[in-house]
Chain A
Amino acid sequence: MYKGGKIIASLIIFAALFTIPFFYNMGKVNAGPDVALDTPAIQRLPASEQQCVESPEFMKENHMQLLNQWREEAVRNGQTVYINSQGKKFDISLQDTCLKCHATESASNPVVLNNPANSTGVSNPALNASPEFCASCHDYSAVKPLCWTCHFEPKEAVK
């Protein structure tokens, strides 16, 4: 091979550089996201309402599809009540149903309207460093949902 030695040596160096991050992190345990499912906000609710609209396993895997279904039914078909697999009824509302339990620390997070530092204008459950909800998983997986560019946190939080 013409200049074979140099080519092979360069390839080895390239492969080594390219895989440095993998070797560097090898054997280190990555702490997963800390999702608290037993928060003060949830504990304050009566026992009959502490269960989410579906099972936690289902919600972990499918909450995005469920939210899409809710949106289609509520906005396009005018069906604003969700009947879950146990036959229990829920209002289809991100603000009043989901965030009733999955709120951030609303009281200590006053609305920061007109603050240019806050890109969305209103305190953002998906981005705030709250152990309680969206942020914990979404920061970990670097997925930024756009819900809060329009929707609000529960009513108490906005006042």
Chain B
Amino acid sequence: MSINRRQFLRRAGVITALGLGSSFVISGFRKKEVAEAAGFAKAPKDMPAKRWAMVVDMSKFKTEADMNKVVEACHKLHNVPDFGNPKDEIKWIWKDDYHHTFAGGFNEYLDENVMHSPFLVTCNHCDNPPCVKACPTQATFKRPDGIVAMDFHRCIGCRFCMAACPFSARSFNFKDPRTHIDEISPEYPTRTPGVVEKCNFCYERLADGLQPVCVEQSNGGLIFGDLDDPNSEVRKIISTKLTIRRKPELGTQPCVYYLVGGGEHD
């Protein structure tokens, strides 16, 4: 038996229509969404804010031990592993020198103390975060309260965000982090190999009505609050004192402000 072109096309069309139609019959009537929930809500103690920001008052950090305390508290709480070598280092908040912190701000008459003391640096939770733009899976995203957060479930480890971040605030888990955590903190999950991580402004603590752990451990050296609220302490400091930010010329609008050598404030 042989068929001509017209018959062939007609039969192919009928079969295609049958196939598409039956697949609709099978899947179209099935309920797709399983939500039985009445809904979702914010935690009762959740602290609302429009723009979380942080001020680092360098005058309150007299010694390096003061800074180490802050770094250790954060890394302990969030199960940040210590691989013991700088190449694999994972950091959420860390110390860096003047040149790396405020690149381009150098002049030869700069105060010796400022030049040679370390600065506390962390993710700046920028208003225009380049990491969010670079992320192909939206694992990194900006929350309505200004926090640049990560969904570790969705991170595929492409490290575009690390290349995009001008502050080196992101670290990659080249190895299994679980075997390099001295003391597991059950308050926060660990990560897996192949996932990027960074500071999250402790949004899990904000939902419980707590301040970020670094702020709690800083003896007033770190001030955290809502920039959008004219009565917040951060807003008052930033609007009355001269503060500087890291690499403002890049236009990412960092939300971590530094009070450097500005003398005492209340």
Contacts of B141 in A (CB 8 A): 76
Is B38 touching A83 in the complex (CB atoms < 8 A)?
A: yes
Which one of B35, B46, B152, B184 lies within 8 Å of A80 (CB-CB)?
B46
Given A65-B34, A66-B34, A121-B176, are A77 and B40 neighbors across the interface (CB < 8 Å)?
A: yes
- Chain A contributes a number of interface residues (CB within 8 A of B) equal to 41
Find A75's partner among B34, B39, B151 (CB 8 Å cutoff): B151
Q: What does the 1/0 interface line of B166-201 toward A look like (CB < 8 Å)?
A: 000000000010110100101001111000000000
Report chain B residues within 8 Å CB of A84: 36-38
- A69 near B35 with CB under 8 A, answer yes
Determine which of B38, B184, B186, B203 lies in contact with A85 in the assembled complex, contact meaning CB atoms within 8 Å: B38
Q: How far is the CA of A92 from the CA of B39 in the complex (A)?
A: 12
B103 at the interface (CB under 8 A from A): no
A48 to B143, CA, bound (A): 36
Q: Which residues of B contact A78 (CB under 8 A)?
A: 42, 46, 143-145, 203, 207
* Chain A 125-148: CB-based contact to B (< 8 A → 1; otherwise 0): 000000000000000000000100
Residues of B within 8 A of A75 (CB): 149, 151, 153
CA distance A95 to B39 in the complex (A): 21
Is B20 interfacial (CB-CB < 8 Å)? Answer: no
CB contacts (< 8 Å) of A82 on chain B: these are 37, 40
**Supplied contacts A77-B40, A79-B42, 15 more A-B pairs, CB within 8 Å:** A54-B36, A65-B34, A71-B153, A73-B40, A78-B42, A82-B40, A83-B37, A85-B38, A89-B41, A91-B43, A95-B186, A113-B181, A149-B190, A150-B190, A158-B186
Say which residue of B38, B39, B189 sits within 8 Å of A152 (CB atoms).
B189
A113 touches B46 (CB 8 A): no
Cβ of A97 within 8 Å of any chain B Cβ, yes or no, is: no
Tell whether, in the assembled complex, residue A155 and residue B186 are in contact, meaning their CB atoms are under 8 Å apart.
Answer: yes
Interface size on B, residues (CB 8 A): 32
When distances are taken between beta carbons in the complex, the residues of chain A under 8 Å from B181 are 113
A to B CB contacts below 8 Å, 8 in the list:
A54-B36, A78-B145, A81-B44, A113-B178, A121-B176, A121-B179, A121-B190, A151-B189
Q: With A and B bound together, what is the CA distance between A131 and B145 in angstroms?
A: 43
Q: Across the interface, which residues of A come within 8 angstroms of B207, CB to CB?
A: 78, 80
What string of 1s and 0s marks CB contacts (under 8 Å) between B117-160 and chain A?
00000000000000000000000010111000101110000000
Which residue of chain A is the closest to B33 with respect to CB atoms? Answer: A65
**Cβ of A87 < 8 Å from any Cβ of B?**
yes
Q: Is A101 an interface residue (CB 8 A)?
A: no
Q: A62 an interface residue at 8 Å Cβ cutoff?
A: yes
B39 touches A83 (CB 8 A): yes
With A65-B34, A76-B141, A158-B184: A81-B178 Cβ-Cβ less than 8 Å: no
- Tell whether, in the assembled complex, residue B42 and residue A81 are in contact, meaning their CB atoms are under 8 Å apart: yes
CA of A111 to CA of B39, assembled, Å: 35
A86 to B111, CA, bound (A): 65
Report how far A82 CA is from B42 CA in the complex, Å. 9
B149 & A80 in contact (Cβ 8 Å cutoff): no
Contact residue among B35, B41, B145, B190 (Cβ-Cβ distance under 8 Å from A79): B41
| Chain B 41-64 interface mask (CB, 8 Å, partner A; 1/0) | 111101000000000000000000
Distance in angstroms between the alpha carbons of A150 and B197 in the assembled complex: 13
Is residue A120 within 8 Å, beta carbon to beta carbon, of the partner chain? yes
B82 CB, nearest partner CB in chain A, Å: 14
- Residue A2 is within 8 A (CB to CB) of chain B in the complex: no
Contact between chains at A149 and B192 (CB < 8 Å): yes
Question: Which residues of B lie under 8 Å from residue A69 when comparing CB positions?
Answer: 35, 37
Which residues in A have their C-beta under 8 angstroms from that of B192? Answer: 146, 149-150
In the docked arrangement, what's the CA distance between A83 and B42, Å? 11
Q: Are B189 and A150 in contact (CB under 8 A)?
A: yes
Q: In this complex, what residue of B is CB-closest to A115?
A: B179
Say how far A2's CB is from chain B's closest CB, in angstroms.
23
Tell me if A103 counts as interface (CB < 8 A to partner B). Answer: no
A106 CB to closest chain B CB (Å) equals 12
| Contact call A85/B37, Cβ cutoff below 8 A | yes
